[in-house]
Structure 1
Amino acid sequence: MTNAALTPAEARAKFRAGLRVPTSGFCAGWAQANLISLPRDHAYDFLLFAQRNPQACPVLDVTEPGETSASIFSGDLRTDLPAYRVYRDGELVDECADVTGVWRDDLVSFLVGCSFTFETALLDAGVPVRHIEAGTNVPMYRTNRECRPAGRLSGSLVVSMRPVPAELVPLAVRVTARYPAVHGAPVHVGSPGLLGLEDLDHPDFGDAVEIRPGELPVFWACGVTPQAAVMRSRPPFAIGHAPGHMAITDARDHDYLS
């Protein structure tokens, strides 16, 4: 069975058993989500940060403190993603396949929309998705665009990039604009220097991909933005997904089609 044909429950079982790979291309037709878990006394700050920066942080679900599943994720948030990142005082202290041992009863988990959700729609429309072709992770970059701060949280916008043939860029914009809950339309096309990006061959997260003649780099807001805010703002503790290693939810991608 191909990764695209797996159900969310089947994919989560594979991750729980130790499969550690980026989830782009998994479970066609099912929505994927970013994870950020913060102590309860920082949760309101993040909720406000997300409300002020909705394209980068479109919240799909929020748990009660200590809960390990969510209404759109019936698995275990501690074990059923392929890889996690653990932060203490804003510093990355571990990247691991299971966070059960560091889980806290005061953690509030946010599931934030992920652009992997609209990749099936791009492919169906005839727009290539290079990192799926290459079997690699999507490239992600910190930009020079500041998010609106909220309480103790501030940070810069993180974007994902997909090369698109120039003549297909308007189509890619139209397709993804119909998915505002999973980042929606691109935030920038071409001219990476205007985002403060000098070298697309060295992404801050994920893997570089080839940009072929006649293609333009197209940038979408990315759900790694919350982790960039954690790294700058330095809350005492946080757990996130390893970039590109997402929570595969029980929601269908068309649930977020507008």
Structure 2
Amino acid sequence: MNYSNLNAAQARQLIRSGAWPRPTSGLALGYVQANLVILPHCWAEEFTAFCRHNRQAAPLLDVTAPGNPHPTRIAPDADIRTDIPRYRIYRNGQFVEEREDILSLWHEDSVAFLLGCSFSAERALIEQGVRLRHIDQEKNVAMYRTALSCTATSHFHGPVVVSMRPIKKSQLECVTKITGHYPLAHGAPIHIGEPAKLGIADLAHPDWGDAVAIEEDEVPVFWACGVTPQAVIMEVKPEIAITHSPGHMFITDWSDAAIYQRAQ
């Protein structure tokens, strides 16, 4: 079965049934994918402000009402408690477990934030002949904590996280142009080449995801990443926070065409 051709509802049903336990890159290509952060309502207003101040790392797509698990703007028939392949639970900033659903953890004051993801621009890249080897190799994209800092709010602060894809030198201009058209999917790269300038010591050992070797005709290209809020949560230490497991995204009803050249 060609899972890249599924529509969003079919992909979410596959995930909800437990039949897709792995990263969602390459699944339902052409539909916008989203990162997830769930916080108690008392943190919601400031986290919204944090997203507004850090639009490239945390482009905000939707925010649910307290206690409502349905993201009415981007997928009203979905259930945020079951429609992601794997969730991460943080307590007081410590990652404590992963789960396949969060039904028992959802509360009346839970607020879900859905943030844009660079997977949403991958169909456009593939159509232009850009090879994405994490998809070819059925790997998760490589993600790294950097020495860059987010713009802080009163409580939320921490490092910027980036995703990395090896890109052929001859395609750098094309890739930069294509992804720049999708600001709600992190937009254009924030850095090309020289990982040490981002404070990344070793590409072979990503902080999240899987390493992909850089071939001779390629350079590493880095995009702001929606795992940034997870690094921030580890710094801020809210009593509880729930996120997607890196690479295991929420698939929205929006097509990637719906976010072409569209900002928050």
Kindly indicate whether the alpha-carbon contact (under 8 Å) linking 1:136 and 1:207 is maintained by their aligned counterparts in 2: yes
Q: Give deviations 1:75-111, integer Å, cap 9, x for gaps.
A: 1100111000011101111111011111111111111
Q: Which runs of 5+ in 2 are unaligned?
A: none
Kindly indicate whether the alpha-carbon contact (under 8 Å) linking 1:86 and 1:240 is maintained by their aligned counterparts in 2: yes
Q: Give deviations 1:146-189, integer Å, cap 9, x for gaps.
A: 00111211110000000001111111000000001110000000
Distance 1:162 1:129 in 2: 7
Kindly indicate whether the alpha-carbon contact (under 8 Å) linking 1:174 and 1:185 is maintained by their aligned counterparts in 2: yes
TM-score by length of 1: 0.98
Aligned pairs for 1:134-153 (under 5 A) are: 134-153=137-156
Distance 2:158 2:66 in 1: 24
Corresponding residue for residue 250 of structure 1: 253
Corresponding residue for residue 6 of structure 2: 6
Aligned pairs for 1:108-127 (under 5 A) are: 108-127=111-130
Letter of the aligned partner of 1:82 in structure 2? P
Distance 1:127 1:236 in 2: 42
Q: Offset of 1:45 from its aligned partner?
A: 1.4
**Other structure's SS at 1:185 match:** coil
Aligned pairs for 1:41-190 (under 5 A) are: 41-70=42-71, 71-73=73-75, 74-190=77-193
Distance 1:107 1:208 in 2: 34
Distance 1:255 1:241 in 2: 23
Distance 1:67 1:130 in 2: 37
**Other structure's SS at 1:141 match:** strand
Letter of the aligned partner of 1:72 in structure 2? I
Letter of the aligned partner of 1:33 in structure 2? A
Distance 1:32 1:212 in 2: 28
Kindly indicate whether the alpha-carbon contact (under 8 Å) linking 1:29 and 1:120 is maintained by their aligned counterparts in 2: yes
Identity %: 48
Distance 2:226 2:194 in 1: 22
**Other structure's SS at 1:22 match:** coil
Aligned pairs for 1:234-249 (under 5 A) are: 234-249=237-252
Distance 1:90 1:152 in 2: 13
Q: Offset of 1:17 from its aligned partner?
A: 1.3
**Other structure's SS at 1:159 match:** strand
Kindly indicate whether the alpha-carbon contact (under 8 Å) linking 1:130 and 1:210 is maintained by their aligned counterparts in 2: no
Kindly indicate whether the alpha-carbon contact (under 8 Å) linking 1:183 and 1:220 is maintained by their aligned counterparts in 2: yes
Distance 1:40 1:229 in 2: 17
Q: Offset of 1:25 from its aligned partner?
A: 0.3
**Other structure's SS at 1:255 match:** helix
Structure 1 residue runs of 4 or more that deviate by more than 6 Å after TM superposition: none
Distance 1:186 1:30 in 2: 20
CA RMSD in angstroms, aligned pairs only: 0.8
Q: Which runs of 5+ in 1 are unaligned?
A: none
TM-score by length of 2: 0.96
For the pair 1:30 / 2:34, whether they are aligned, the reply is no
Distance 1:151 1:236 in 2: 17
